[in-house]
Every structure is written in structure tokens, then in C-alpha cells.
């Protein structure tokens, strides 16, 4: 703006006759500043929520304490909560406001098996050996959204802004077992834009077709007949033989699958005892590929192979879909809006202790680069062409991204360069690194919600990209049907085994300033 133009604007402002758009953008800038201030004032609440959810350490479908706690927080701050979405006891929706636009904020809440870990300690040191924990950092995303939503809600109330904020949890993301069901059951039918958050090593976002894969997760269960394994083995039909043959068959077939594919399996039931021919046995596969037609192809190969294994062993096979995730495609308009806010927020200021922990862990893991925490903002991520996509992980946010404008905000609440799905990802997750990363992310999230609430043209542009670019040639074809039930039984046994032991370590914010303090951990604790 030239000095003359600035003078004109100032003069118009003084005259109370500033052009509407300039007036609006000055007001929005003020609202954003207030939201950022509000988030900063809730840093203590952010820490309490992050540490509490970390201490619950619950696996997918068993996020009982987590959901009870988070919904109680939301109700305390005036959000309306409905529970039990898609027949999933730990799924819920919280809303505030009314009418359009409807802006949804989501994030995952589940943990990883065998990843129990003392936070702030730069080597493997479980709180409870063998127990689950937050070995991905999913304890931080919903606290981020809640802080952002409370900050925005206060401004909506004060300035009488129309619109609705909706919060929802990514239940069982590690099993990709809820979001396709939420979509199927119309949970997002009124939503204009979905702002998803996921823990990462930087503050960033991206748009277009993403890297990584989509997947279908299927369990095959074989049924044979028992017999005395030594006395009359010829009278038995072994379901375990079928499982083993299918497993071996898949390993041979793997050589002839596309390089972009990923597949893995575990045996969920291998029989009862050696002297009884196994009547039932099950094997659980994740079939991953980079687009829908190729995922479908893998499922068809798997189904055929299961039939083959049943034929070879004279057993019967049934199968059940336990999870699905679409490859992700993120919205350009929304990502660019978020990225502008990210640049305003910037990265947190890391302390010397934060960097010591990060570098100590990177050294412990033998990483080639031990640069510690990110100190430079990442670029806005651009589309990944299918031919450049060599596969990788999945997230069922993909299913949502094909049904409405969606982005994922990645926020710096973890240490870069970790293997993932491992105890090491829990080390930063209840420390100042996570607390600061969540506060930074909540600011960008709150500012973007305000953009979307006050600038209807943004929502329109986002839908134009969604309709005219993203879904012009590619359509969403769900892998589940109307009748596919959500697999709510998963992880029951593991939590049944560990919950009572874990309960003793739940964070009590009324007695301790932080979870580190409750556990008596010096921050950071490095290998001597």
C-alpha cells in the first residue's frame, strides 16, 4: 500500500466510511489476535488435557476414559455432546452455534500396542512393560482442537458470529476403523469444511493428492474340525493349515505385485493346543495401494487366495472387513488459508532442554541426522503425482477428504525422525515439546476457523476445487457397505489385561503441575 493510499484508508476509517471489505478484514485481524491471545491463556488447560489423555494410553475402540474426559471438558465449556456415533461407544460429536457454515475439527485419539513409555526419558523405559501407550502422539490432537474451539467460541459469542463448530474424534485410527463409518452414516452431511489435525515434527499443511496409501483391512477366519492330533489326525481338518498356506501363498504372490503396494498380516487365532487339530484359525491382512482400483485388486487377490487355502485344507472360510482408508486428497483453498495462518503463528520457541531430549533420542535411535526439533517452518505441501508415489502409511481421513473439503494440519508436538508406531513416539508426547506444539497448532487452527466463518467466499472456493477439480474424474466408492458393522470388539482383550495396572498412573492435575512431575521424571533424562 502506498503512503497516499494508506492515508486515504485511515481518513475513511476516521470518517467511519471505510469500504466494507477493508473494515471486515481489519475486524477479522482483530478477532484472530484475540483468538491467539485466548489460546495462549489456555496453555495450562492444554497441558492438562495433553497429559491426561497421554496417561490413559488407550487403544482403538477402547478409548473409554479418553472420550469420557474429553467430552466432559467440552460440556464444561458449553458444547453440546451426542455419543455413540455409528454404533461405536467411544465416538461422539460436540457442537456449538447454529446454522452455516459448519466447520468440523477432528483428530485421532487412540494409542499403539506395546508402546508404554515414560515421557521425557530419551531411551526405552516403559511405565508398564508390554502395556499400550501413545506411541504415535495421538494424545495431543483433540486437546489442540478443543483449545482452538473454545477460543473461537468466545469470539462467536462476543461478536454474534453465525455458524457452527463441530468437534469429533478419530476413533481407532490405527485400525482405520471409524471414519468411513462416520461418512457412511451421515455424520458430516451438513459440514462445509473439515479441519483435521495430526501430530508431526513441524507446523505445516498440504493440498492435492497426498503421498502414502489407502487400505482395506480384512480378517479371514477358517473353520475345520478337531481330532486327536496323534490318535486320529486323519479325522481332523486344520484351520491353522489354511492360515499358514494363505500366509505363505501371499508371500510368494508379493513378488508379482506393484512396487507401490504394501501388505502385512498377523495371525489372530492359531488354535488352542497342539494335541487338538485347530478347528478355528484367523489371519488379519492390511492390503495397501495408492489408489482405489488397485486396493480393490489386492482385496480380490486376497479373497481368492483364502478360497484356495480353504480348498487345500478342506476347511471353510469367512471374512470380515475391519477397517478401510481411502488415499488422501486435500483441499487447495483451505490449505492455502491455513498456511497463511501458519506463517503468522510460526514455530514454538524450544528450550535447551527440549532440544537436548530431541537430540538425545535421535542419537539413541542411531539416526544419521541428529538435528533436534524443527526450527524452520516447512513449505506448503504440494500434490504428489501417482507415478511418484512409492506408498507408505494410510489414514482414514482419506474417506472424509473425498466427501467434503478437508485438510490436515500437522503440528510440531513430536520429535522428527522417529520410526513411528513405537515407544519413541511417546517420549515427547507429555513434555513441554507437546504442550508448546499444541498451543502453536491451536492458534493456526483457530485463525483458520475464523477465516472460514467470516469469509463465505472461501467456503465457496473450497467447494469449487472439490467439485470441479478433485472429484471431476475420480469418485468416492466406499469399501464398506450399509451392513458392515464397526469392529468395536478390537483391543478389548489387551485393555482387559492392562487397564487396572494403567489406572494407577492416570494423571491427576489437582495434585501435580504436570505428568512429568507426577512420575518424578527429571526433564530431560538422557542416557548416561
Compute the distance between CA of residue 405 and CA of residue 467 in angstroms, rounded to an integer. Answer: 9
Q: How far is the CB of 340 from Zn ion (least distance, A)?
A: 25
Closest to Zn ion by CB, 136 or 289: 136
Nearest-CB residue to Zn ion?
136
- Of the pair 51, 136, the CB lying nearest Zn ion is at 136
The enclosing H or E element of 323 equals strand 316-325
User: What sign does the CA torsion over 79, 80, 85, 90 have?
Assistant: positive
Which of residues 136 and 219 has its CB atom nearest to Zn ion in the complex? 136
**Residue number, 136 or 451, with CB nearest to Zn ion:** 136
Minimum distance from residue 212 beta carbon to Zn ion (Å): 11
Q: 330, 403 in Cβ contact below 8 A?
A: no
Least distance from C-beta 328 to Zn ion, angstroms?
12
Rounded to the nearest whole angstrom, what is the least distance from the CB of residue 279 to Zn ion in the complex? Answer: 37
What single DSSP character describes residue 470? I
Phi, psi dihedrals of residue 18, rounded to the nearest 5°: -65, 140
On whether the CB atoms of residues 173 and 101 are closer than 8 A, the answer is no
Output the CA torsion sign for 479, 459, 442, 45. Answer: negative
Q: Which residues bind Zn ion (CB under 5 A)?
A: 136
Least distance from Zn ion to the Cβ atom of residue 427, Å: 16
Alpha-carbon distances, residue 524 vs 13, 129, 355, 357, 516 (angstroms): 52, 21, 9, 6, 10
Cβ 174 to Zn ion shortest distance, Å: 7
User: Cα(394)–Cα(170) distance, rounded to whole angstroms?
Assistant: 13
C-beta closer to Zn ion: residue 133 or 302: 133
Task: Name the phi and psi angles at 503, rounded to 5.
Answer: -55, -35
Tell me which residue of 321, 318, 323, 320 sits closest to 242, measured CA to CA: 318
Residue 192 near residue 103, CB atoms below 8 Å: yes
Q: Which is nearer to Zn ion, 195 or 227 (CB)?
A: 195
Residue with cell 512396487: 259
Of the pair 36, 397, the CB lying nearest Zn ion is at 397
CB of residue 108 to Zn ion, shortest distance in Å? 5
Helices of type H across 188-233: none
Q: To the nearest 5 percent, what fractions of the chain are helix, strand and coil?
A: 45, 20, 40
Q: How remote is the C-alpha of 197 from its chain's centroid?
A: 7
Do 346 and 377 form a contact (C-beta atoms < 8 A)? yes
In the complex, least distance from residue 424 CB atom to Zn ion, rounded to whole angstroms: 15
Name the minimum Å distance from CB 173 to Zn ion. Answer: 5
174 vs 192 by CB, closer to Zn ion: 174
Q: Residues 482, 180: contact at Cβ < 8 Å?
A: no
CA distance 288 to 324: 10
Among residues 106, 477, 108, 188, the alpha carbon closest in space to that of 326 is found at 477
Q: Kindly tell me which of 136 and 399 has the beta carbon lying closer to Zn ion.
A: 136
All 3 cell numbers of residue 143? 486437546
Distance CA 430, CA 435 (A): 7
Q: How far is the CB of 38 from Zn ion (least distance, A)?
A: 27
Identity of the residue, 184 or 421, whose beta carbon is nearer to Zn ion in the bound complex: 421
Beta carbon nearer to Zn ion, 174 or 219: 174
To Zn ion, the closest distance from the beta carbon of 210 in angstroms equals 14
Amino acid at each position: 500500500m502506498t503512503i497516499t493510499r494508506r492515508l486515504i484508508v485511515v481518513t475513511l476509517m476516521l470518517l467511519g466510511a471505510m469500504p466494507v471489505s477493508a473494515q471486515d478484514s481489519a475486524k477479522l485481524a482483530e478477532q484472530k489476535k484475540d483468538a491467539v491471545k485466548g489460546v495462549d491463556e489456555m496453555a495450562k488447560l492444554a497441558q492438562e488435557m495433553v497429559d491426561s489423555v497421554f496417561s490413559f494410553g488407550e487403544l482403538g475402540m477402547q478409548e473409554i476414559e479418553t472420550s469420557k474426559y474429553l467430552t466432559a471438558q467440552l460440556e464444561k465449556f458449553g458444547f453440546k455432546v451426542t455419543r455413540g456415533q455409528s454404533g461405536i461407544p467411544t465416538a461422539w460429536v460436540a457442537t456449538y452455534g447454529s446454522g452455516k457454515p459448519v466447520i468440523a475439527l477432528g483428530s485421532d485419539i487412540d494409542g499403539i500396542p506395546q508402546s508404554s513409555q515414560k515421557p521425557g526419558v530419551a531411551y526405552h523405559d516403559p511405565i508398564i512393560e508390554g502395556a499400550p501407550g501413545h506411541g504415535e502422539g495421538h494424545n495431543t490432537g483433540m486437546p489442540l482442537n478443543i483449545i482452538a474451539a473454545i477460543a473461537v467460541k468466545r469470539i462467536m459469542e462476543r461478536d454474534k458470529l453465525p455458524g457452527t463448530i463441530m468437534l469429533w474424534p478419530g476413533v481407532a485410527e490405527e485400525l482405520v476403523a471409524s471414519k468411513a463409518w462416520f461418512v457412511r452414516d451421515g455424520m458430516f452431511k451438513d459440514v462445509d469444511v473439515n479441519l483435521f489435525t495430526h501430530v508431526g515434527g513441524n507446523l505445516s499443511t498440504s493440498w492435492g493428492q497426498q503421498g502414502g496409501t489407502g487400505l482395506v483391512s480384512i480378517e479371514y477366519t477358517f473353520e475345520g474340525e478337531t481330532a486327536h492330533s496323534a490318535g486320529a489326525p486323519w479325522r481332523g481338518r486344520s484351520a491353522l493349515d489354511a492360515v499358514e498356506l494363505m500366509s505363505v501363498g501371499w508371500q510368494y504372490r508379493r513378488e508379482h505385485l506393484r512396487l507401490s503396494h504394501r501388505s502385512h498380516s498377523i495371525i489372530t487365532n492359531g488354535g488352542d493346543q497342539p494335541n487338538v487339530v485347530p478347528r478355528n484359525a484367523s489371519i488379519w491382512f492390511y492390503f495397501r495401494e495408492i489408489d482405489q482400483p488397485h486396493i480393490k485388486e489386492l482385496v480380490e487377490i486376497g479373497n481368492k487366495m483364502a478360497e484356495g487355502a480353504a480348498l487345500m485344507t478342506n476347511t471353510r472360510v469367512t471374512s470380515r472387513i475391519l477397517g478401510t482408508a481411502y488415499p488422501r486428497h486435500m483441499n487447495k483453498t483451505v490449505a492455502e488459508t491455513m498456511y497463511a495462518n501458519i506463517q503468522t503463528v510460526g514455530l514454538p520457541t524450544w528450550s535447551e532442554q527440549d532440544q537436548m531430549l530431541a537430540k538425545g533420542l535421535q542419537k539413541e535411535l542411531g539416526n544419521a541426522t541428529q538435528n533436534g526439533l524443527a526450527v524452520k517452518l516447512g513449505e506448503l505441501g504440494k500434490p504428489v503425482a501417482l507415478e511418484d508415489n512409492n506408498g507408505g502409511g494410510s489414514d482414514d481421513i482419506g474417506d472424509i477428504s473425498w466427501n467434503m473439503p478437508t485438510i490436515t494440519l500437522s503440528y510440531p508436538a513430536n520429535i522428527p525422525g522417529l520410526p513411528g508406531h513405537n515407544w519413541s513416539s511417546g517420549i515427547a508426547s507429555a513434555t513441554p515439546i507437546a504442550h508448546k506444539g499444541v498451543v502453536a497448532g491451536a492458534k493456526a487452527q483457530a485463525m483458520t476457523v475464523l477465516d472460514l466463518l467470516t469469509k463465505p467466499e472461501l467456503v465457496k472456493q473450497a467447494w469449487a476445487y472439490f467439485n470441479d477439480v478433485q472429484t471431476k474424474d475420480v469418485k468416492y466408492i466406499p469399501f464398506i457397505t450399509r451392513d458392515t458393522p464397526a469392529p468395536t470388539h478390537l483391543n478389548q482383550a489387551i485393555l482387559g489385561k492392562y487397564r487396572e495396572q494403567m489406572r494407577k498412573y492416570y494423571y491427576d492435575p489437582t495434585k501435580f503441575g504436570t505428568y512429568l512431575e507426577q512420575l518424578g521424571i527429571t526433564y530431560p533424562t538422557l542416557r548416561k
